[in-house]
Amino acid sequence: MKIYKAYAKVNIFLKITGIRANYHEIISRFMRVDSLYDELSFVSKESEEFKIIGDFSCTTEQNTIYKAYIYLLDSLDEALSVSLQNLMQKYAVHVKKNIPAFAGLGGGSSDAATFLKMCNEVLHLGLSQNELAIVGLKVGADVPFFVYGFDSANVGGIGEVVEEFREPLLDFEVFTPKIEISTPKVYAVYRENFFAPIDGFKTNELKTTTSYDILKKMSIDEANDLFKPALQEYRELKNYYKQGYYFSGSGSSFFKVKEKEK
């Protein structure tokens, strides 16, 4: 069976622009990490229940792939819905996990997006990227970026606004401390103690600056509004921070651009 790659991402910058209901609106530059990806494939199985084979600590019902399946079923007409159910009765989703969980690298979102694209391709569902992104957004705010498959993009709103940003893909060194970080908790600490949304002028400046230039001129906490709240909530993070590294999402991963060998 064909193997599909579900790539990780890093947040070059992540700034809060405001609040919408219980969500924080953001502007962020997502960039794909070419060297880090999960591998997904369909494999035959004997029982008919939905099955994910892989190293996951959550239940099937909590898995983003299962959630993507349920939301995709809901979005299809009856005939296509039956085709999808038949597919998942015959095949399990096999996931070779390489992207660590709770790491700010988008592993779960990338798996969900890749699963949606697999179903669309195998079953010839004929859904556009926009239609898949709408389904994906119900699973999680980062899923649309992975559906579109851009190398780099400015992501706004609560994750639903994804605008391709054309620039060279950077080569990253990424390391992830074994600290399980809760994104909702980090956002709650941000709102309580660090709330300082940026304005439209700063947003536009960030959206038009290359990732390389941003990483050259901004410090780790200037680039990511969630670094200080994460540090306050998970104090052991400071033991892992090294000069010159940046913080992805709500953590716990740190990254930097690999130096080119001379």
Active site residue 9: yes
User: Within this chain, do residues 68 and 132 fall inside the same structural domain, yes or no?
Assistant: yes
Catalytic pick among 15, 38, 67, 142: 142
Look up the CATH number of the domain holding residue 111: 3.30.230.10
**pTM beyond 0.85:** yes
Neighbours of 167 (CB within 10 A): 16
Domain range for 67 is 4-164
> Residue ranges for the binding site for ATP?
100-110
pLDDT, tens digit (0-9, with 9 covering 90-100), for 21-70: 888 999 999 999 999 999 999 999 999 999 999 999 889 999 999 999 99
DSSP E strand stretches across the chain? 4-20, 23-44, 52-53, 91-96, 152-157, 161-164, 172-175, 246-247, 254-257
Give the residue ranges of the chain where pLDDT is below 70.
Answer: 260-262
Domain annotation covers residue 262: no
SS3 at position 161: strand
Q: How many domains does the chain have?
A: 2
* pLDDT value at residue 115: 98
State which of 144, 164, 184 marks the end of a domain: 164
State which of 135, 164, 193 marks the end of a domain: 164
Catalytic pick among 9, 15, 67, 256: 9
* pLDDT value at residue 262: 46
State which of 101, 132, 164 marks the end of a domain: 164
Domain annotation covers residue 159: yes
Active site residue 242: no
User: Within this chain, do residues 35 and 134 fall inside the same structural domain, yes or no?
Assistant: yes
